[in-house]
């Protein structure tokens, strides 16, 4: 049996690559594992040799100490890998298959899964609907920023690439299917982006850039991306986006300069709960700023997609209300404008096969647009530190040196 190494959360501001247990077909006790999940038998699971596993902004929230994540947690929920072993209950996924793994863990059997709501599966997290690998309060499934990882309900969760050689040629793009590309696409779809739409996307991090890419794929006429980081705004402009530097003032004024009117058809919040203010407040944390802005800039009767992460527990919040996820949202404005809102985890499986086909047939260059940057697993701490400073990159970890 081979060894295993994984990226481990050591406490606020610190991660390390450490030796860890090789996966088995049983969920064992460990940091963050729900007691009701300990000892859970997993004959339906597969063990993957990880080919690519990405650093996500959601991981950064934990590493910054902005969640209740326990120390010792193995991180990582964006997984692409080669199947090396399957449990006796796996029928269709085979050893040697190269697969993408949705970050949502889903059973495929419950009511929500059968309705396509795989982000809120009822059977994988005893605390609440919905689960993910290597994430706080998500049931304790071991993270995939590792050399090897276990994927439960493999026949249901694994998206097999039809041709391994073709997939490896496009692995940087295909690595985005586990989370940020479907998440960005979900934000754009939820916002009602269609041919000819004008779109405002708050946040030029990887999810925001994926949402912008998705808006173009859906036929948007104009995509405007707002952010504080000049390097990230430059990355957005590199593939045709208009940009708004929110440190310069109210995004609505800059939207009007671009479009000739202060509103767009659709808006996406790709920032989440660590939002900062605008203009003179740009260096201050203002967790409701983006939610209120996207309501303000969206036309009456429009829609807002909210793939940005919001949490129920934020020990680092600036006030007591925000510590439990209670924010000063201008709901009256949204009501008065008859806006539609969609929140929550992206149900990755709803989109990942379609987006895979778009990648394989050269309809989109998501890796280029998010500036996918491959580094060895051992350099994960440096990747986390660089990403935390606002680097306009999507770091892809390559545990086995398989990405050319």
**Each residue of 308-354: pLDDT tens digit?**
999 888 888 888 888 898 889 999 999 999 999 999 999 999 999 99
- For residue 274, the tally of other CB atoms under 10 A from its CB is 21
Q: Which residues pair with 398 in a beta bridge?
A: 376
Length of the chain equals 404
Please write the tens of the pLDDT for every residue from 99-126: 999 999 999 999 999 999 999 999 999 9
CATH T-level topology, domain 5-179+347-398: Quinone Oxidoreductase; Chain A, domain 1 (3.90.180)
Q: Average of pLDDT values for 45-72?
A: 95
Longest Cα–Cα distance of the chain, Å, equals 63
pLDDT band per the 50, 70, 90 thresholds, residue 279: confident
3-state SS of the chain is CCCCEEEEEEECCEEEEEECCCCCCEECCCCCCCHHHCCEECCCCEEEEEEEEECCHHHHHHHCCCCCCCCCCECCCCEEEEEEEECCCCCCCCCCCEEEECCECCCCCCHHHHCCCHHHCCCCCCCCCCCECCCCCCCCCCCCCECEEEECCHHHHCEECCCHHHHHHCHHHHHHHHCHHHHHHHHHHHCCCCCCCEEEEECCCHHHHHHHHHHHHCCCCEEEEEECCHHHHHHHHCCCCEEEEHHHCCHHHHHHHHHCCCCEEEEEECCCCCCECCHHHCCCECCCHHHHHHHHHEEEEEEEEECCCCCCCCCCCCCHHHHCCCCCCCHHHHHHCCCEEEECCCCHHHCHHHHHHHHHCCCCCHHHHCCEEEEEHHHHHHHHHHHHCCCCCEEEEECCCCCC
Burial of residue 60, with CB atoms counted within 10 A of its CB: 0-12 exposed, 13-18 middle, 19 or more buried = middle
Separation of alpha carbons 54 and 80, rounded Å: 9
Residue 1 has pLDDT above 70, yes or no: no
- For residue 398, the tally of other CB atoms under 10 A from its CB is 19
Residue 287 has pLDDT above 90, yes or no: no
Separation of alpha carbons 263 and 157, rounded Å: 39
Separation of alpha carbons 143 and 76, rounded Å: 5
Please write the tens of the pLDDT for every residue from 142-200: 999 999 999 999 999 999 999 999 999 999 999 999 999 999 999 999 999 999 999 99
Q: Average of pLDDT values for 302-311?
A: 94
The confidence score (pLDDT) of residue 236 equals 98
CATH node for 182-343: 3.40.50.720
The confidence score (pLDDT) of residue 322 equals 87
The confidence score (pLDDT) of residue 277 equals 87
Please write the tens of the pLDDT for every residue from 237-274: 999 999 999 999 999 999 999 999 999 999 999 999 88
- Give residue limits of the domains in the chain: 5-179+347-398, 182-343
Asked, colleague to colleague, whether 5-179+347-398 and 182-343 share their fold, the answer is no
Radius of gyration of the chain (CA): 20
The confidence score (pLDDT) of residue 404 equals 82
In degrees and rounded to multiples of 5, residue 187 shows phi and psi of -60, -40
- For residue 301, the tally of other CB atoms under 10 A from its CB is 11
The confidence score (pLDDT) of residue 400 equals 98
The confidence score (pLDDT) of residue 311 equals 87
**What does pLDDT average to over the chain?**
96
The confidence score (pLDDT) of residue 130 equals 96
The confidence score (pLDDT) of residue 312 equals 85
Please write the tens of the pLDDT for every residue from 147-160: 999 999 999 999 99
């Amino acid at each position: 049996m081979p060894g295993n190494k994984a990226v481990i959360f050591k406490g606020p501001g610190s991660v390390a690559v450490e030796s860890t247990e090789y996966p088995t077909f049983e969920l064992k006790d460990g940091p963050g594992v729900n007691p009701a999940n300990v000892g859970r038998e997993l004959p339906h699971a597969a063990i993957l040799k990880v080919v690519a596993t990405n650093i996500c902004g959601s991981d950064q929230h934990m590493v910054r100490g902005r969640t209740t994540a326990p120390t010792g947690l193995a991180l990582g929920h964006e997984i692409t890998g080669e199947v090396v072993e399957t449990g006796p209950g796996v029928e269709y996924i085979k050893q040697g298959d190269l697969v993408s793994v949705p970050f949502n863990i889903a059973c495929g059997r419950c009511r929500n899964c059968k309705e396509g709501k795989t982000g809120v599966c009822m059977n994988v997290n005893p605390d609440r609907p919905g689960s993910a690998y290597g994430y706080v309060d998500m049931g304790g499934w071991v993270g995939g920023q590792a050399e090897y990882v276990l994927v439960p309900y493999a026949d249901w969760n694994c998206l097999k690439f039809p041709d391994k050689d073709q997939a490896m040629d496009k692995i940087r793009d295909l690595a985005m299917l586990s989370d940020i590309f479907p998440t960005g696409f979900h934000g754009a779809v939820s916002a009602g982006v269609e041919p000819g739409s004008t779109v405002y996307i708050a946040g030029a991090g990887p999810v925001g850039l994926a949402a912008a890419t998705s808006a173009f794929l859906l036929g948007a006429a104009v995509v405007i991306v707002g952010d504080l980081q000049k390097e990230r705004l430059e990355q957005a402009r590199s593939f045709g986006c208009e940009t708004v530097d929110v440190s310069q003032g109210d995004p609505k004024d800059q939207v009007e300069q671009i479009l000739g009117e202060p509103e767009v058809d659709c808006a996406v919040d790709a920032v989440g709960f660590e939002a900062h203010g605008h203009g003179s407040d740009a260096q201050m944390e203002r967790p409701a700023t983006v939610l209120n802005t996207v309501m303000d800039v969206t036309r009456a009767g429009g829609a807002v997609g909210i793939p940005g992460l919001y949490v129920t527990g934020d020990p680092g919040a600036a006030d007591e209300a925000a510590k439990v996820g209670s924010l000063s949202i201008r709901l009256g404005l949204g009501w008065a404008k008859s806006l539609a809102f969609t929140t929550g985890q992206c149900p990755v499986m709803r989109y990942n096969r379609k987006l895979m086909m778009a990648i394989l047939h050269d309809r989109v260059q998501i890796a280029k647009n998010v500036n996918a940057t491959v580094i060895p697993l051992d350099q994960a701490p440096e990747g986390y530190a660089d990403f935390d400073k606002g680097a306009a990159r999507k770091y892809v970890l390559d545990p086995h040196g398989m990405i050319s």
